[in-house]
Amino acid sequence: MVQGESVPPPVSLPPLQRAMPVAEEGLATTSTDVVVVGGGVNGVGVARDFALRGLRVVLFERNDLAFGASGNSSGMIHGGVRYLSQAPHVTESSCRDSGYIQRIAPHLLFRLPFLMPIRNGAMGRIALELIDAYFRAYDDYQPLKRGEPHCRLDATDVARLEPGLAGTLLGGITFDEWGIDGARLCVLNALDAIENGARVHVHTTVETIARAPGGDGPVRYVVEARDRSTGERVCVGARVVVNATGAWSPVTASLGALPQARVRVRPGKGVHIVLDRRLSNYGILSEAIDGRQMFLMPWQNVSVIGTTDDDYYGDLDDVHATSEEVRYLVQGVARIFPSVREARAIGTYAGVRPTLYEYGRNEDALSRDHRVVDHAADGAPGVYSMIGGKLASYRMFAQELCDRVATADFEVTVPCATHTRRLPGGEGIPDATALAVEHGLTPVAARRLVYRHGGRARRILERVARTPTERDVTCPCEPVLEAEVRHVIREEMARTVYDVARRTRLGLGACGGMRCAARCGQIVAQERQLPPSEGGRMAREFVETQARARVVAMGPAQARQEALALAHLRSSLGESRDA
Amino acid sequence: MTDVVVVGAGVAATAAALSAAREHARVVLVDGGTGASSLATGAIDALPWQNAAAASDREASANGPAARSGAVDPRGRAVLDALGGYALPDRPALLLTTAGIARRADGHDAGLLNVAPLAGRRIGVVRCERPGWDAAAFAAAWGDSFVVVDATVLRYLDERVLPDGDFAARCDDAGRLGWLSERLREAVATAGGSPIAALVLPPSLGIERARAAELSARVGLPCGEALAAPGGPAGLRFERARDRALEAAGVERVRARASEVTRESDRWCVALDGGRTALADALVLATGGLIGGGIEYAPSEAMIASVLPPFARVPFRATVAIEGGSPLGMHGRPLELPGSLFGVAPESLAWPFAREAPMDRVGVLADADGRVSPGLYAAGDLVADAPRTWLHALESGARAGTNAARDAGAATSGHALATAGGAASPSRP
């Protein structure tokens, strides 16, 4: 365990020792090599890595893939410039892995140049020199991720690059990062795992992790899980169990009666605000009133403001931003970029980072490093927990774990292939403009489709060729074609309107799902052969959850839209509370 | 000099203007654009339909079959007749929504198909390549008695992507309607199974007027639209009906936005943009709620300043300022919202956090006649605590318009009394 700095941890009572239960004979209906618990980026990364090494993998996800921190991150494969002084190895490994991710999913990344303005003031010149030197050190790592070296700008250059900046500036620094859609990254990893033999169960919660009767054969553990929508039980015997449940890690550990203190995380809630358009072509760094760094960045077709970092001990299945967090962020960014005050917020999202536990430290100063916990010390050899980590270095974290487990538990020596083998859609990426002409789509729709699906966009357009009505635009904000909605339900394990939104960004635009949720619910019900009322219920649930996330950022324009969405929903779909 | 000025151009304002004109008042309607009324989906209700449905279920279990929740008063009925194009059946209507449910409604735009009288009979859902129109999904969702009917409804290729309103406009052409009715007749004739009793179509049946009755007569079956997203033909048909009715009633229309209402000597003075003013003996404000724009959400921290506001203010304001302070309120009291040092928490204002959210209730405080102060009336969604429904807008507008005309009449006869020594104006009943 990483030691706290100066404050001694509070004296705690000796933990209550519980032994991992032993499963009943014949409970496991199938057996596998590895059970992975958790469908975040760590879980799917590990599942893919094991599957590519020829091991059999079963993955359980309680909600949906990328439901937690992975799908609610800042959406960057950044090099971790923040960690350069604290932990340069984190920066180096982040940069190296960023390069690998570009290689395996070229369609999913977009260049995100950042601009760090320096205010004129007593310390301004010194600050500029220091920051310049700092980024000169960062430049050493940039080639690892095909980033441009940083630039030092004077006040005129800064004003020309981004005229919206306020205050008298001394100059600024630019540096290069890469943006990514975290949810899609998770889905692609899961797909590749499946295509290499893994089984992935979404909306399936693990209920117990027990010792297999009879001990140390190829099956050491029995994992019992329940599908949360159908109630169906799945029992799988496995030699190795990996706990990759992020902020839920202690909960998962307790399902196997493992000591929670061994997998302790410091859950840090991070809140982001989504604005309705790209306000700048640059990510802009700013400081909040308390000196914390925050940013405004163009991300896909919106802008994102982030982020907060506060200890969070609420319900992990229902994390949402509060209006005070929103105000804190907007005020912080408005100091340097005042027009965000007038910009229209169309939503917020929040996730909980599973940071390595340290007692007493400020949230920002916590390490973003990761660690593998081997539960052999707790009497459970072959059970591992993945603690910490970040989107940018998920692949390397997975590799670390798999390298160790493959030799220690399976005597498999197949080398890791996750950095060379492309993710689904990463090859043969079509030209969006040509595709638009060929299939009669708008160029925007074609571009978005190619961004999300890369080479697999063709599969979706084959659907359109077979059934021309699927050319229909289901979500006009994004836009998302009906064929894509059907594709992600059939091929990418989407089971609810929310799952479709995570995979396609349907309903996450300016209208908040008002124009597409009901239709999407119908399609989900059709594809999954559910009663149509179930589709309606999902649509209501989506719209209401999204409204909840939007309302905290509500400005005048948003309030009107909220009222209209409400009136429309009431008129055509009904409200769930009255049902 | 005008007797009554009506500010607004939606259902409530139209009802007020027509009702005041029926009282022989000279009426000017200040039209700053239409909000919620143009976005209407075609269902008309007195109470939010789910509340009404729950209430009528209770009633039905106690007293047999349910009746309509809101019997429209005679003045409201007169406005509805003047507008034309709306059906108000004795029993609640059942409308089909493209969100996949069959919902009750007190009445409906005449273009929509009411399936309540067709219970148990086979209804055809016309399949065509319109955006968001999935006949198979709808038939499955609406119930067992719905079947998909293949018919040629699109005549030109562009109709696959035309917005609902533009597509519906094509049916205003008699030739096109004739062509459509032939296609539908063919489709019904070739459809197998037991006979089809009615046809549901996408929103498509005209924007000048609803062409459902004409089409039904030609096809020989009830035909009508499903209820779709806001911004479709039903809202456009309301605008056309309003324009015709206002013209027929001789209401003068001024295209402008009102910004302030003041009292000058004993008349109401409405400041319009462009520096103009309108004077009247009585005034009806029907500028809408949050959607229409009559009430704005304007929290003190909306444009988050570099420093926090010193204290939280009530985050709503009326777009038309009324002399003597804001009369906004809810729950029958002037508006007070608890705030903290950090301003008002939007979570506490809006759906879906609070069932009775201020966003749904805030408005101008008015008595049962719609009177805010003598000679000043509010109607429609602008009124605090009132249901934000079409029929409420209609009735409150009609009430306010009638009362305003009578006040104006009294005021004018008052003038007449002063100048002509007691002779009452002959034109005032």
Instruction: Between A576 and A136, name the one with better pLDDT.
Output: A136
B139 and B173 in a single domain? The answer is: yes
The structural domain count of chain B equals: 2
Q: Is residue B45 part of a domain?
A: no
Is the Cβ–Cβ distance between A81 and A138 less than 8 Å? Answer: yes
> Tell me: the pLDDT tens digits for A367-404?
667 899 999 999 999 999 999 988 888 999 999 999 99
Q: Of B148, B159, B304, which to mutate for an interface test with A (greatest number of A Cβ within 10 Å)?
A: B304
Is the Cβ–Cβ distance between A547 and A512 less than 8 Å? Answer: yes
Q: How far is CA A273 from CA A239, A402, A551, in A?
A: 43, 36, 11
Q: How far is CA A78 from CA A148, A248, A395, B36, in A?
A: 13, 24, 14, 45
Cβ distance B129 to A469 less than 8 Å, yes or no, reads: yes
B288 and B372 in a single domain? The answer is: yes
B366 and B322 in a single domain? The answer is: yes
- Determine what percent of chain A is predicted with pLDDT higher than 70: 95
> Tell me: the pLDDT tens digits for A410-425?
999 999 999 999 999 9
Which residue, B229, B249, B284, sits at the end of a domain? B229
For chain A, what is the total number of helices (H) and then of strands (E)? 16, 20
Distance from CA of B304 to the nearest CA of A (A): 6
**Distance, CA of A241 to CA of B304 (rounded, Å):** 49
Judged by a CB distance cut-off of 8 A, whether residue B33 touches chain A is no
Residue A370 class from Cβ within 10 Å (0-12 exposed, 13-18 middle, 19+ buried)? buried
B312 and B247 in a single domain? The answer is: yes
Distance from CA of A319 to the nearest CA of B (A): 15
**Distance, CA of B119 to CA of A498 (rounded, Å):** 35
Cβ distance A556 to B297 less than 8 Å, yes or no, reads: yes
Single-letter residue type at A539: A
Chain B, residues 315-374, CB within 8 A of chain A, namely: 342-343, 345-347, 349-353, 355, 359-360
Q: Which residue of B has its CA nearest to A549?
A: B347
Residues contacting residue A86 through CB under 8 Å, at least 6 positions apart? A365, A367
Whichever domain contains B296, its CATH number is 3.50.50.60
Distance from CA of B374 to the nearest CA of A (A): 31
- Per-residue model confidence (pLDDT) at position B60: 65
Chain B residues closer than 8 Å to A473 by CB: 131
- Per-residue model confidence (pLDDT) at position B415: 47
- Per-residue model confidence (pLDDT) at position A230: 93
**Distance, CA of B19 to CA of B25 (rounded, Å):** 9
Task: Specify the range with the lowest mean pLDDT, choosing from A59-73, A147-161, A319-333, B55-69.
Answer: B55-69
Cβ distance A544 to B352 less than 8 Å, yes or no, reads: yes
- Determine what percent of chain B is predicted with pLDDT higher than 90: 66
Chain B, residues 279-298, CB within 8 A of chain A, namely: 289-291, 293, 296-298
Is the Cβ–Cβ distance between B366 and B378 less than 8 Å? Answer: yes
Judged by a CB distance cut-off of 8 A, whether residue A524 touches chain B is no
Q: How far is CA A155 from CA A173, A176, B74, B244, B294, in A?
A: 10, 19, 71, 61, 45
Which residue, B229, B255, B277, sits at the end of a domain? B229
B405 and B268 in a single domain? The answer is: yes
- Per-residue model confidence (pLDDT) at position B345: 81
Q: Is residue B82 part of a domain?
A: no
B236 three-state secondary structure = helix
Q: Which segments in chain B show pLDDT lower than 50? A: 64-68, 415-429
Backbone torsions φ then ψ of B201, nearest 5 degrees:
-120, 160
Q: Is residue B34 part of a domain?
A: yes
Judged by a CB distance cut-off of 8 A, whether residue B56 touches chain A is no
Q: Is residue B6 part of a domain?
A: yes
Q: How far is CA A409 from CA A380, A402, B235, in A?
A: 13, 10, 68
Q: Is residue B71 part of a domain?
A: no
State the first-to-last Cα distance of chain A, in angstroms, to the nearest integer.
50
Query: Residue range A217-242: average pLDDT?
Result: 94
Provide the β-strand partners of residue A116.
A173
Residue in this structure with the two tokens 């709808």, named with its chain if needed: B138
Chain B, residues 131-160, CB within 8 A of chain A, namely: 131-132, 134, 136-138, 140-141
Provide the β-strand partners of residue A223.
A209, A236
Which residue, B206, B229, B252, sits at the end of a domain? B229
Chain A residues closer than 8 Å to B97 by CB: 571-573
Pairing of strands B252-255, B43-44: unpaired
Cβ distance A570 to B48 less than 8 Å, yes or no, reads: yes
**Distance, CA of B323 to CA of B283 (rounded, Å):** 13
B190 and B249 in a single domain? The answer is: no
Distance from CA of A123 to the nearest CA of B (A): 22
Distance from CA of A491 to the nearest CA of B (A): 21
Chain B residues closer than 8 Å to A330 by CB: 304
- Per-residue model confidence (pLDDT) at position A15: 55
- Per-residue model confidence (pLDDT) at position A12: 62
The structure tokens listed for A496 are: 């609810």
Q: Is residue B316 part of a domain?
A: yes
Cβ distance B350 to A551 less than 8 Å, yes or no, reads: yes
Chain B residues closer than 8 Å to A469 by CB: 129, 134
A146 three-state secondary structure = coil
With a cut of 70, say whether residue A524 has pLDDT above it.
yes
The structure tokens listed for B386 are: 């009132």
Q: How far is CA A15 from CA A8, A18, A392, in A?
A: 18, 9, 35
Cβ distance B137 to A330 less than 8 Å, yes or no, reads: no
A85: phi > 0 → left, psi -120 to 50 → alpha, else beta; which?
alpha
Q: How open is the CA angle A218-A222-A224, to the nearest 5 degrees? A: 150
Distance from CA of B49 to the nearest CA of A (A): 8
Residue A529 class from Cβ within 10 Å (0-12 exposed, 13-18 middle, 19+ buried)? exposed
Domains in chain A with CATH codes: 30-69+183-264+368-410 (3.50.50.60), 77-180 (no CATH), 265-356 (3.30.9.10), 432-578 (no CATH)
B382 and B269 in a single domain? The answer is: yes
Q: List the domain range (segments joined by +) for residue B216.
A: 87-229
ipTM: 0.89
Is the Cβ–Cβ distance between B20 and B404 less than 8 Å? Answer: yes
B214 and B253 in a single domain? The answer is: no
> Tell me: the pLDDT tens digits for A281-299?
999 998 887 888 899 999 9
Query: For residue A564, what pLDDT band results from cuts at 50, 70 and 90?
Result: confident
DSSP letter (8 states) at residue B424: P
Q: How far is CA B121 from the centre of its chain?
A: 31
Neighbour-count burial for A264-298, b at 16+ CB within 10 Å, e otherwise: bbbbbbbbbbbbbeebbebbbbbeeeeebebbbbb
Q: Is residue B63 part of a domain?
A: no
Cβ distance A519 to B103 less than 8 Å, yes or no, reads: no
- Per-residue model confidence (pLDDT) at position A24: 86
Query: For residue A356, what pLDDT band results from cuts at 50, 70 and 90?
Result: confident
What are the DSSP calls for B129-187, one per residue?
Answer: --TT--HHHHHHHH-TTEEEEE-----SGGGGTS-HHHHHHGGGSHHHHHHHHHHHHHH
- Per-residue model confidence (pLDDT) at position B416: 41
Q: Is residue B259 part of a domain?
A: yes
Judged by a CB distance cut-off of 8 A, whether residue A477 touches chain B is no
B349 and B265 in a single domain? The answer is: yes
**Distance, CA of A572 to CA of A499 (rounded, Å):** 23
Chain A residues closer than 8 Å to B353 by CB: 548, 551
B213 and B117 in a single domain? The answer is: yes
B391 and B296 in a single domain? The answer is: yes
- Per-residue model confidence (pLDDT) at position A1: 42
B256 and B395 in a single domain? The answer is: yes
- Per-residue model confidence (pLDDT) at position A11: 65
Long-range Cβ contact pairs of A367-375 (< 8 A, separation 24 or more) = A367/A2, A367/A83, A367/A86, A367/A87, A367/A90, A368/A80, A368/A82, A368/A83, A368/A87, A368/A90, A369/A87, A369/A89, A369/A90, A370/A397, A370/A400, A371/A2, A372/A400, A372/A401, A372/A404, A373/A262, A373/A263, A375/A258, A375/A262
* C-alpha closest to that of A527 among B98, B96, B137, B129: B137
